[in-house]
Structure 1
Amino acid sequence: MANWNNLDTLKSFQNLFNISNVDIAEEMAGTNGADRVKKYSVPMAAGLSFNYAAKEVNDEILDALKALATEAELSEKFEALYNGEVINTGEKRLVLHQLTRGQLGNKVVADGVDKREFYLNEQKKIAEFANKVHAGEITNAKGEKFTTVVQIGIGGSDLGPRAMYLALENWAKKNGCFKMEAKFISNVDPDDASAVLNSIDVAHSIFILVSKSGTTLETLTNESFVIDALKKQGLDASKHMIAVTSETSPLAKSDNYLQAFFMDDFIGGRYSSTSGVGGAVLSLAFGPEIFARFLDGAAAEDKLAAEKDLLKNPAMLDALIGVYERNVLGYDSTAVLPYSQALSRFPAHLQQLDMESNGKSVNRFGEPIDYVTGPIIFGEPGTNGQHSFYQLLHQGTDIIPLQFIGFKNSQLRNDVDIQGSTSQQKLCANVAAQIVAFACGKEDDNLNKNFEGGRPSSIIIGDELTPEALGALLSHFENKVMFQGFAWNINSFDQEGVQLGKVLAKKVLAHETEGALTEYAKLLNI
């Protein structure tokens, strides 16, 4: 059994404060910087690599982080997780999202069910259904093929699957495996559903309702919106809808759906892109084979996360560098900066993944802690961000660590040569320049033009954003968040912080309010 202790009780953590800080501007200058770029890199799955040369670390700090990983028993805790121990202490549940893409350890049985077999069976059912839709065996009431799939869900039922779909949409079109356009309805704002419904051919659309409990207010509201739109066109809504839900939800055996696919309580929404939550929409959009390749990339990266040597485990290494930045250097934010337009919604997904998981101020036993935990996560794809918030990143009063993601080749391979270089080369030149500019800065007697440098960053580099690379990226960040939660001794797998607002909103709608809540309800004409 692993020992669960607060970070500030670990001797290895206290030792980090006795090590001199690294001057990254000095370290990254000249030939020394070139040597660091070659040295401080670790392979990832699917041809990716994690380069942390521009982080404020050296061999002494890395040795100290190794000691922290050992004392905090990070590898042992991951083993306990994938072997089926109850890691989600808040809800007294297992944590099994890695099991949707591979078997890392022992067979996991819960409620008398082999959970790996359960997930594989659901994937098989989804694949069969998607293939029948693509073959025209499952059609609309007129016997016509569906051309669009619309996912109705919120939070993890939207952010992850939407980010994954957008990441592979152009790749699929280029590689001849684009089957159906996907759209997403998430916000309870009626303008969201209206905009989507006005942009599609409703008669040739199939809708996926995603709700584990079958009672999610926003999702059921949007379902009613969609059903109304179908009925107005004289269509039988039950011939256009499927559900992804739990076996015990009211949706599971309803006649309102063509078919129901199942998830369980052992996978949180923000970790559900490799379950049926992402599997149904991605299999319909691109085909089950592409979803399987996505899972393969995630599974390969999960295996690296089980590596005990910190310097061969990119997720754990990234995590502990982040803990060092947060708890020793005192940085409170992290910017995620993908230099790939396909990853335009990836920072939004990581924002939920990280902040909903590690935004905690009590440990896994419900006791207050005396140190900071999860950072604020934000980001935009490059080079758009350069013309937005990079000013603050370069010359603002706060130092914000940066996580770049870049690819040597574009997905579409459709480029032009302008002024001696292609667009992709210009994109890659920008990310390389930004890393060095942030780290090294530039001296100028005019302080308005002076760049102090010393702004740390890492970069994940790949050849091309393929399904395997996307799966590996997703797994890397999921496992990074997990390891940081282990180090902070918090529960990264519940989210009580999202509940209070929901409870109060129901009181407003039931007109059971008082005080300020009553007055705000009046102001909003409720």
Structure 2
Amino acid sequence: MLNWNNLDTTRAFEELKKAEKVDLTKAMVGESGGERVRKYHVPMSAGLDYNFAAKNVDDNILEKLAALAEEQQLVDKYESLLNGDIINTGEKRHVLHQLTRGQLKGDVIADGVNKRAFYKEQQDHIAAFAKKVYSGEISNEKGEKFTEVVQIGIGGSDLGPRALYIALENWARAHQTLKMRARFISNVDPDDAAAVLNATDLAHALFIVVSKSGTTLETLTNETFVKNALTREGLNPAKHMLAVTSETSPLAKNEGYLAAFFMDDYIGGRYSSSSAVGGAVLSLAFGPEVFAEILDGMHEEDKLALNRNLLENPEMLDALIGVYERNVLGYQTTAVLPYSQALSRFPAHLQQLDMESGGKSVNRFGEPADYPTGPIIFGEPGTNGQHSFYQLLHQGKNIIPMQFVGFRSNQTGMDDVIEGSTSQEKLCANVAAQIVAFACGRDNENPNKRFSGNRPSSIITGDQLTPKSLGALLSHFENKVMFQGFTWNINSFDQEGVQLGKVLAKKVLAHETDGALAEYSKLLNV
């Protein structure tokens, strides 16, 4: 039987608070630091490895984190989720995103449907459609092949798929699997859609409208913007538009679309990249086989998250170290710092994944949580970030934990020896140096040149960013967020915080305003 308890009611948390703190300026110096780097890591799937040597933990704290995982029944709750129990208590729904990439437990039947079979059917439908596009069986009005695809969506319908596309675009070029160039329209700001359309060959482009309900204001506005542009070019929008939506939405089975691919209410937007939301655009762009590799990487990492041994479960370990930093050490923010330009939009996706899931002040029963929950997430690729906000990370008053990601090889094989080393070697040298600099600091008689150190970080390393390793990386963070939600006893799978602004915006557009809302509307000429 599962017990859903607040963090501050657990015995393990009380013991964790009493544990002696680890000072990285001592632990990471000299050979002892080298020993920590060799010792404190956990293998992931797809050749990745999670190293937490530069975190404020030792064997004693790890033992207490393991006790917390057991007391909060983290793996049991994950198994309950996989078995199809109602984990999303706010909306009284199953949570089934892991089921889109494979089956780890028994069949899940919802609404009279085998959900794994449903998700697989949609993937097969998308794959068959993509192959018809490549062959020219599905073509534009003149019988010419489509060469571009544009996704229209916002939030989870944009951030995850866009991040994954950008992550693999150069890899796909190098491996000759880039079938169609992809672009994305998300912001209701007309400049966003106009910029994309101006760079798109409309006659040879497919447009994917992604909206679960079929009523998302920003998405439908941008859809109409695109349809108007197609019409002005003498093109029939119905010959260029696809829909990813629920089976009950106005977009389903609609003659205005070449095809519709379906999702359901059991997968939140920020967890939907492995569903048709990401599957349609990524399969068209790279080929269904590449999308299948992403799913394989996610599935293998999902399996690791079932391991009850904390030191063999990288997701659960990363999650609990984050809880320790948030609730014992009092750190409010986490920086995500990929040393890979391909992951340039990954921090933006993780902002939504983490902050929409962990941004709760009540527990899963609607009762106040008397402790901090999700951290603030931000980030930028290295080495760009080093020349931006790293000054604050090194010498600011607030200590901000960091999560680095780095690869030993680039994606394209293009690299030259310049001044004695390759660009990739320079990149990797920088991330190694930053980790030690943050942890160890430096003393100096000049206060402006003094670094206090003891600033924690972890790093996920791998040989190369490939479809499979990208899938494993995404699964790692999805499952990390899930385990943190279980530990805090919050519902990580609803997002009521995004709704209030939408309601008020509709009132503004309907001119049903008064007070401050009316005055701000006038200020912006609405």
Q: State if a TM-score over 0.5 links the two structures.
A: yes
Match of 1:331 in 2: 331
**1:183 aligned counterpart, secondary structure:** strand
Equivalent position amino acid for 1:323 in 2? V
SS in 2 for 1:17: helix
Structure 2 counterpart of 1:150: 150
> Quick one: distance in 1 between partners of 2:470 and 2:377?
19
1: CA distance, partners of 2:466 / 2:263: 26
Partner of 1:177: 177
Taking the aligned partners of 1:163 and 1:103, their CA distance within structure 2 comes to 25
How many equivalent residue pairs?
Answer: 526
Q: How big is the shift at 1:106?
A: 1.1
2:60 maps to 1:60 = yes
Task: Kindly indicate whether residue 108 of structure 2 is the aligned counterpart of residue 108 of structure 1.
Answer: yes
Q: Which residue of 2 aligns with 1:510?
A: 510
The alpha carbon displacement at 1:365 in A equals 0.3
CA–CA separation in structure 1 for the residues paired with 2:425 and 2:492: 39
- In 1, the alpha carbon distance for the partners of 2:17 and 2:180 equals 54
What CA deviation, in whole Å up to 9, does each residue of 1:435-459 have, x standing for no partner? 0000001110001000010000000
- Once the two structures are superposed, residues 316-338 of structure 1 have per-residue CA deviations (whole angstroms, 9 ceiling, x without a partner) of 00000000000000000000000
Equivalents in 2 of 1:71, 1:381: separation in Å?
37
- How far the C-alpha of 1:135 sits from its partner, in A, is 1.1
Partner of 2:21: 21
Question: 426-435 or 128-137: which moved more?
Answer: 128-137
* Distance in structure 2 (CA, Å) of the matches to 1:317 and 1:465: 22
Instruction: Give, as a single letter, the amino acid of the residue that structure 1 aligns with 2:459.
Output: I
1:446-485, aligned counterparts within 5 Å? 446-485=446-485
Deviation at 1:108, TM superposition (A): 0.4
Deviation, 1:523, is: 0.6
Deviation string, structure 1 residues 338-389 (Cα, Å, up to 9, x no partner): 0000000000000000000110000000001100000000000000000000
1:70 alignment partner in structure 2: 70
Q: Which amino acid in structure 2 is aligned with residue 361 of structure 1? A: S
- Offset of residue 520 of structure 1: 0.5
2:444 maps to 444
Residues 464-504 of structure 1 show CA distances to partners (whole Å, capped at 9, x for unaligned) of 00000000000000000000000000000000000000000
Matched ranges for 1:192-211 at <5 A: 192-211=192-211
Residue 360 of structure 1 aligns with which residue? 360
SS in 2 for 1:307: coil
Aligned equivalents of 1:457, 1:268: Cα separation in 2: 29
Give the SS at the match of 2:61: helix
Corresponding position of 1:392: 392
Whole-Å separation in 1 of the counterparts to 2:216 and 2:17: 46
The letter for the 1-side match of 2:211 is S
% identical aligned pairs: 73
- Displacement of 1:197: 0.3
Structure 1 Cα separation of the partners of residues 153 and 419 of structure 2: 46
Q: CA deviation at 1:238?
A: 0.3
**In structure 1, how many angstroms separate the alpha carbons of the residues matched to 2:508 and 2:17?**
49
| 1:92 positional shift | 0.2
CA distance in 1, matches of 2:231, 2:23: 65
Moved over 6 A (4+): none
- Give 1:245's aligned residue: 245
How does 1:93-492 map onto structure 2 within 5 Å? Answer: 93-492=93-492
What amino acid is aligned across from residue 512 of structure 1 in structure 2?
Answer: E
Amino acid at match of 1:304: L
Matching residue of 2:44: 44
Q: Distance in 1 between matches of 2:520 and 2:19?
A: 52
Partners of 2:134 and 2:434 in 1: CA distance: 44
Distance in structure 2 (CA, Å) of the matches to 1:19 and 1:488: 20
For residues 451 and 18 of structure 2, what CA distance do their matches in structure 1 show? 28
What secondary structure is seen at the aligned counterpart in 1 of 2:406?
Answer: strand
Partners of 2:71 and 2:219 in 1: how far apart? 44
| Aligned partner of residue 511 in structure 1, secondary structure | coil
Equivalent position SS for 2:18: coil
Cα distance between partner residues in 2 of 1:203 and 1:369? 54
Q: Which amino acid aligns with 1:147?
A: T
Give a deviation string over 1:140-186, Cα, whole Å, max 9, x none: 01100001000000000000000000000000000010100000000
Residues in 2 aligned to 1:310 and 1:267: alpha-carbon distance in whole angstroms: 27
What is the CA-CA distance between 1:509 and the residue it aligns to?
0.2
**Offset at 1:413?**
1.1
Distance 1:110 1:345 in 2: 34
Amino acid paired to 2:64 = A
| Cα deviation, residue 31, structure 1 | 0.2
TM-score, normalisation: structure 1: 1.00
Query: What value does the CA root-mean-square deviation take over the aligned residues?
Result: 0.4
CA distance in 2, matches of 1:488, 1:449: 39
Matched AA of 1:210: V
Offset of residue 32 of structure 1: 0.1
CA–CA distance in 2 between the matches of 1:103 and 1:437?
43
Give the structure 1 partner of residue 12 of structure 2: 12
Give the whole-Å Cα distance in 1 for the aligned partners of 2:189 and 2:178.
Answer: 30
Q: Distance in 2 between matches of 1:174 and 1:299?
A: 25
Does the residue aligned with 1:334 lie in a helix, a strand or coil?
A: strand
2:32 counterpart residue number: 32
Q: Secondary structure at the match of 1:253?
A: coil
Aligned to 1:87: 87
Q: CA deviation digits over 1:107-133, x for unaligned, max 9? A: 100011000000000000000001110
Letter in 2 for 1:37: V
Distance 1:131 1:499 in 2: 38
SS in structure 2 at match of 1:367: coil
5+ residue gaps in structure 2?
none
CA offset at residue 25 of structure 1?
1.1
The Cα of 1:15 is off from its aligned counterpart by 0.6
Structure 1 residue 419: deviation in Å?
1.0
Residue 313 of structure 1 deviates from its aligned partner by: 0.3
In structure 1, give the amino acid aligned to 2:181: E
Once the 2 structures are TM-superposed, how far is the Cα of residue 253 of structure 1 from its aligned partner? 1.1
Amino acid at match of 2:198: N
Question: 1:350 & 1:137 partners in 2: Cα distance?
Answer: 38
After superposition, give the CA deviation of every residue in 1:31-75 in whole Å (9 maximum; x if it has no partner).
000000000000001000000000000000000000000000001
Name the CA distance, whole Å, in 1 between partners of 2:386 and 2:439: 16
Amino acid at match of 2:133: V
Distance in 2 (alpha carbons) for counterparts of 1:295 and 1:15: 39
Secondary structure in 2 aligned to 1:459? Answer: strand
**Structure 1 counterpart of 2:108, which letter?**
V
Q: Distance in 2 between matches of 1:4 and 1:249?
A: 35
Q: Secondary structure at the match of 1:141?
A: coil
Give the distance between the partners of 2:137 and 2:44, measured in 1 at CA: 40
Name the amino acid aligned to 2:145: K
Q: TM-score, normalised by structure 2?
A: 1.00
Distance (Å, rounded) in 2 between the aligned partners of 1:472 and 1:25: 32
**CA–CA distance in structure 1, aligned partners of residues 193 and 491 of structure 2:** 34
* Equivalent AA in structure 2 for residue 350 of structure 1: L
